[in-house]
Chain A
Amino acid sequence: MTQLIERRSFLRAGAIGLAGLGITGLIPAWARSGSPGLAPTLPTLSGEDIHLKIANTHFTVGGRTGHAVTMNGVLPAPLIRLREGQNVRLHVENTLDEDSSIHWHGLIVPFQMDGVPGVSFPGIKPHSTFVYEFPLLQSGTYWYHSHSGLQEQQGHYGPMIIDPAEPDPVAYDREHVIVLSDWTFLNPHHLVTKLKAEGGYFNRRKQTLFGMMKGGPEEEMSASDRAMWGQMRMDPADIADVTAATYTYLVNGHGPQENWTGLFHPGERVRLRIINAATMTIFNVRIPGLPITVVSADGLNVRPVTVDEFQIGNAETYDVIIQPTEDQAFTFVAESIDRSGMARATLAPRLGMTAPVPPLRPRPTLTMKDMGMGGMDHGSMAGMDHGAMAAGASAAAGHGNSHSMSGMNMRDKSLVPDSVKVGVGVDAIAMSPIDRTGDPGVGLEDVGHKVLTYRDLMSLTPNPDTRPPQRTIEVHLTGNMERFMWSFDGEKFSEGVEPIRFERNERARVVLINDTMMTHPIHLHGHFFEVVNGHTGSYPRKHTVNVLPGGKVSFDLTADAPGDWAFHCHLLLHMHAGMFRVVTVRPLEGDAA
């Protein structure tokens, strides 16, 4: 503890130096380029009473200005820094002419403070103030954002750090918050309209005939496989719904040209608190030349694991430690999953230093594994080297198996429980979905260096509830790419679906099966769940989990938070299109959890 305070006073000098730079407004102090890191002198919001004002503002990036919805006039919103064990009152004033809200993403709060209009509270009416009040029961890196309409796409998000009551087990000399996001000058509702009109509208890197003749990594697919994908009316180049065709990817509100720069002294252990606050973008994060040691996931500490790259789904957070020893700059690269663009920043000893920016890598192409056929023909391979098999399966599936496709039913209702409605909104059912927690993410299988997988994550502390789950709830992630429809179990939330119900303190297993060919970051409010990844008793505890295409993820849940909670895909437009459910935990009465 003492150590930490000393470190901070040391940083204070740097912060005062920065004040002289006279950087313009609209970017919060913590997010300014040239930041020496977080220090007590930076005007973060902390204490028992915090005031936030939601308003229409302007946001400028790449020399162009557009309309934004922000908090306290800045994008991203102010850094809220609190301490585990304290109480906080957050006074949120909505100056918009429409409803708004703030959801405290990842925080364990009473349901009525969770901030989801129509589920946990009525929402914050125009020109009114709502006061959130709750104790802080945890520590770590979190964030907060609107849960109303599509305001999050317009800039309504910000970071939140809860310092631990006990000494932090993560030692570091300096820390930076890195909020990744995606910005568009289009009205977010126009994004939806475009996608409803043409599901592949934003994909400007499709397979083409000339491309096929010319060859290249993005066109590596035989004519017969192309025909097979075409027969299914599926596009193997459809990696992200919204791409750099409209997005500018941001680091702390800075576009790639603005080049947000975070400072360090060589030899320091630098903690980066990385938050994916993007609307529709899953990022692949790397810092060429620097190993990245992941020390916490979704706010909770994990055993340190060193990687070269990791994929971060929307709403996930990772805290990492880097230790640059040279007096040189490093480029922080957050490539969008489809590699149409990147968020870029620089970590350097001095402002103005830069490092080479690596070019975008080729757009990935989906494989049979992404189509939900990962588990086919594996029976005979039991006991073999499954690592090799996984690679072999996608290669074999990508070529050899394709000719037998014509006889296959891609929407075989017998593969799903009756609760799944295989209708207009379901264009495929995974024939043989496999657990993909050992996979690094779409396009990251063969990047030539170590990429984080969920199986690399182990909780630093033993899991609090090691009761075996008593009941399995299977939830299918379903969609129709062509009509841009997204749902759980084939039914959109708007169709008036039943909640997913748990008994209070019930220990249950939720199996998420992704029948679609996209990665979905699935978020459950009000709880941490244990991602079943083989490390029984030390499962990583998360609030959001990426489910890879054609794959499945199981999590064990202790339903210890009475109330009603949102459960949804954190790709905002998927949620908006219907991939949303209410989870209920009953009874409400009794001791507070």
Chain B
Amino acid sequence: MKPLVGIFIAAVATPALAQQDHGAAVQQAPADPHAQHQMDEQSADPHAGHAMPPKPSEPTDPHAGHQMPSAPATDAHHAHAGHEPGIPDPPGGPPSAAALGGPAHAADAIFGAATMAPAREVVRKEHGDIKSGMILIDQLEAVIGKGKDGYAWNAQGWYGGDIDRLWFKTEGESRFGESLESAEVQALWGRALDPWWNLQAGVRHDFRTGPDRSYAVLGVQGLAPYWFEVDGALFLSDKGDVTARFEAEYDQRLTQKLILQPAAELNFSAQDVPELGIGSGLSTAELGLRLRYQFVPEFAPYVGVKYERAFGDTADFRRAQGEKAGGWKFLIGIRSWF
């Protein structure tokens, strides 16, 4: 009985819909005698537009009127775009006891557990356990300013899975024709904290004119809202000095290939480290602006400028050495990754 009631309600409640469907059915009726599906029987039916399924499976559904199968390709269907069509979802629930029954692996009975086990391990690894890596030379540049020209680099690399990765970072600078001024190398273990951020811990070693230093490193690197690449780290030296560094950069696409990258780096120290020329507080700050042209994403030469200066005691240390506290530099370099 109830299915019939459903049909009746549907017919009464949606006359406009039914009319549209009639129209569409007529439009659609193929002129060709070979009707696409040879559905002559149905096409001839004046009610073809709202033929009900032979057995409505859920007669109690109060929305039966919305489930009218009708000639497809009419806009009438879109009138229901916001509705959940059809039978309401039954409750969620765990699988039945029978569903949980064995065997654990159906193929074992046919091909043998010993054969299937290694294949299962392969299929597991092939679906998500991807190891990959990257080496990014973010900056490799000639530094042109007052005094002797120099060069600088800043590069990093990683290898590993999605969660745990081994990181390698290096940066440094010097002047052409002179011995290495300063260079640092970091080896870090990185662990993904959330979709965008990574915790990094490891060691850093500095090579420089003057005393070498080693540090323990604890940092966070990732992608901040608005697409800022951010890297912050705390360093504890083998002499017990605590310093910190904060870096951020942003890629502003001017065109698909021309990219303007503002970047900032701030260095802090918890104490004066006179032998390294570092004073407590904000020791140095650097602002850079690089304009690169990505021939391909992996290879982009750039030009840029940077302003770098020391503050507080760090500036005093510099002046004591006969250097200026800060100044502008012009940059020509290459950004590359592979």
Bind each other: yes
Most B CB within 10 A of own CB, among A119, A375, A506:
A119
A206 at the interface (CB under 8 A from B): yes
* B77 surroundings in chain A (CB, below 8 A): 438, 453, 455-456, 534
A385-B79, A389-B82 are contacts. A467–B106 as well, Cβ < 8 Å? no
* B55 surroundings in chain A (CB, below 8 A): 462, 466, 537
Interface size on B, residues (CB 8 A): 91
Choose among A120, A463, A502 the residue that contacts B95 (Cβ–Cβ < 8 A).
A502
- Closest residue of chain A to B48, judged by CB? A303
Which residues of chain B from 76 to 91 have any CB-CB distance to chain A below 8 Å in the complex? 77-87, 89-91
B12 at the interface (CB under 8 A from A): no
A56 at the interface (CB under 8 A from B): no
A518 and B37 CA atoms in complex are apart in Å by 35
Q: Which of B112-120, B169-177, B283-291 contacts A (4 or more CB under 8 A)?
A: B112-120
Asked if B80 contacts A534 (CB within 8 A), the reply is yes
* A564 surroundings in chain B (CB, below 8 A): 105-107
A116-B123, A323-B32, A472-B92 are contacts. A111–B80 as well, Cβ < 8 Å? no
- Closest residue of chain A to B76, judged by CB? A387
Asked if B195 contacts A119 (CB within 8 A), the reply is no
Choose among B56, B80, B120, B254 the residue that contacts A537 (Cβ–Cβ < 8 A).
B56
* B145 surroundings in chain A (CB, below 8 A): none
- Closest residue of chain B to A539, judged by CB? B86
A306 at the interface (CB under 8 A from B): yes
A482-B223, A564-B107 are contacts. A426–B195 as well, Cβ < 8 Å? yes
Which residues of chain A from 317 to 362 have any CB-CB distance to chain B below 8 Å in the complex? 321, 323
Asked if A534 contacts B72 (CB within 8 A), the reply is no
- Closest residue of chain B to A196, judged by CB? B132
A-B contact count (CB 8 A): 314
* B83 surroundings in chain A (CB, below 8 A): 386, 435, 534
* B100 surroundings in chain A (CB, below 8 A): 501, 586
A170-B37, A304-B30, A386-B81 are contacts. A208–B110 as well, Cβ < 8 Å? no
Over the window 110-145 of chain B, the binary record of Cβ atoms lying under 8 Å from chain A Cβ atoms (1 yes, 0 no) is: 110001101111111111111011100000000000
Asked if A493 contacts B37 (CB within 8 A), the reply is no
Most B CB within 10 A of own CB, among A121, A303, A463, A503:
A303
Which residues of chain A from 177 to 216 have any CB-CB distance to chain B below 8 Å in the complex? 192-193, 196-198, 201, 204-211
* B195 surroundings in chain A (CB, below 8 A): 411, 424-427, 480, 482-483
A99 and B36 CA atoms in complex are apart in Å by 43
* B163 surroundings in chain A (CB, below 8 A): 424
A284 at the interface (CB under 8 A from B): no
Shortest CB–CB separation between residue B121 and chain A, in angstroms?
8
- Closest residue of chain A to B89, judged by CB? A472
A494 at the interface (CB under 8 A from B): yes
B58 at the interface (CB under 8 A from A): yes
A84 at the interface (CB under 8 A from B): no
- Closest residue of chain B to A492, judged by CB? B128
Asked if A537 contacts B82 (CB within 8 A), the reply is no
- Closest residue of chain A to B91, judged by CB? A472
Choose among A206, A387, A536 the residue that contacts B79 (Cβ–Cβ < 8 A).
A387
B295 at the interface (CB under 8 A from A): no
Asked if A390 contacts B82 (CB within 8 A), the reply is yes
* B254 surroundings in chain A (CB, below 8 A): 208-210
Asked if B69 contacts A537 (CB within 8 A), the reply is yes
* A533 surroundings in chain B (CB, below 8 A): 85-86
* A198 surroundings in chain B (CB, below 8 A): 297, 337
A371 and B129 CA atoms in complex are apart in Å by 27
Most A CB within 10 A of own CB, among B163, B195, B253:
B195
B162 at the interface (CB under 8 A from A): yes
A311 at the interface (CB under 8 A from B): no
Asked if A494 contacts B127 (CB within 8 A), the reply is yes
Shortest CB–CB separation between residue B10 and chain A, in angstroms?
11
Most B CB within 10 A of own CB, among A424, A496, A533:
A424
A58 at the interface (CB under 8 A from B): no
Choose among A211, A466, A493, A538 the residue that contacts B69 (Cβ–Cβ < 8 A).
A538
Shortest CB–CB separation between residue A163 and chain B, in angstroms?
16
* A111 surroundings in chain B (CB, below 8 A): 106-107
Which residues of chain A from 424 to 479 have any CB-CB distance to chain B below 8 Å in the complex? 424-427, 434-435, 437-439, 450, 452-453, 455-458, 460, 462-463, 466-474
Shortest CB–CB separation between residue B283 and chain A, in angstroms?
31
B192 at the interface (CB under 8 A from A): yes
* A591 surroundings in chain B (CB, below 8 A): none
Shortest CB–CB separation between residue B82 and chain A, in angstroms?
4
Asked if A458 contacts B128 (CB within 8 A), the reply is no
* B92 surroundings in chain A (CB, below 8 A): 417, 471-474
Q: Which of A21-29, A42-50, A88-96, A225-233 contacts B (4 or more CB under 8 A)?
A: A225-233
* B134 surroundings in chain A (CB, below 8 A): 193, 196-197
Asked if A149 contacts B126 (CB within 8 A), the reply is yes
A469-B90, A532-B85 are contacts. A390–B78 as well, Cβ < 8 Å? yes
- Closest residue of chain B to A99, judged by CB? B122
A403 at the interface (CB under 8 A from B): no
Over the window 41-62 of chain B, the binary record of Cβ atoms lying under 8 Å from chain A Cβ atoms (1 yes, 0 no) is: 0000000000011111110010
* A580 surroundings in chain B (CB, below 8 A): 127-128
Asked if A472 contacts B72 (CB within 8 A), the reply is no
A456 and B65 CA atoms in complex are apart in Å by 17
A358 and B100 CA atoms in complex are apart in Å by 54
B210 at the interface (CB under 8 A from A): no
Asked if A169 contacts B38 (CB within 8 A), the reply is yes
Asked if A197 contacts B132 (CB within 8 A), the reply is yes
- Closest residue of chain B to A227, judged by CB? B226
Asked if B99 contacts A502 (CB within 8 A), the reply is yes
A435 and B106 CA atoms in complex are apart in Å by 34
* B36 surroundings in chain A (CB, below 8 A): 170-171, 293, 295, 304, 321
Asked if A425 contacts B162 (CB within 8 A), the reply is yes
Shortest CB–CB separation between residue B194 and chain A, in angstroms?
6
Asked if A511 contacts B89 (CB within 8 A), the reply is yes
Shortest CB–CB separation between residue B57 and chain A, in angstroms?
4
A170 and B32 CA atoms in complex are apart in Å by 12
Asked if A305 contacts B78 (CB within 8 A), the reply is no
Asked if A462 contacts B337 (CB within 8 A), the reply is no
- Closest residue of chain A to B158, judged by CB? A197
A450-B73, A536-B57 are contacts. A112–B110 as well, Cβ < 8 Å? yes
Which residues of chain A from 476 to 505 have any CB-CB distance to chain B below 8 Å in the complex? 480, 482-483, 485, 487, 492-496, 501-504
Q: Which of A31-39, A136-144, A274-282, A571-579 contacts B (4 or more CB under 8 A)?
A: A571-579
* B258 surroundings in chain A (CB, below 8 A): 210
Asked if B82 contacts A536 (CB within 8 A), the reply is no
A424 and B119 CA atoms in complex are apart in Å by 28
B98 at the interface (CB under 8 A from A): yes
* B102 surroundings in chain A (CB, below 8 A): 586
B39 at the interface (CB under 8 A from A): yes
Asked if B90 contacts A471 (CB within 8 A), the reply is yes
Asked if A424 contacts B37 (CB within 8 A), the reply is no
A80 and B243 CA atoms in complex are apart in Å by 69
A197-B337, A387-B79 are contacts. A535–B119 as well, Cβ < 8 Å? no
Asked if A231 contacts B32 (CB within 8 A), the reply is no
* B271 surroundings in chain A (CB, below 8 A): none
The 25 listed contacts between A and B (C-beta, < 8 Å) are: A119-B107, A120-B107, A121-B107, A123-B122, A208-B255, A230-B225, A233-B227, A303-B71, A306-B28, A387-B81, A389-B82, A427-B196, A457-B72, A468-B87, A482-B196, A535-B67, A536-B58, A536-B67, A536-B69, A536-B86, A536-B87, A586-B102, A587-B98, A588-B103, A588-B109
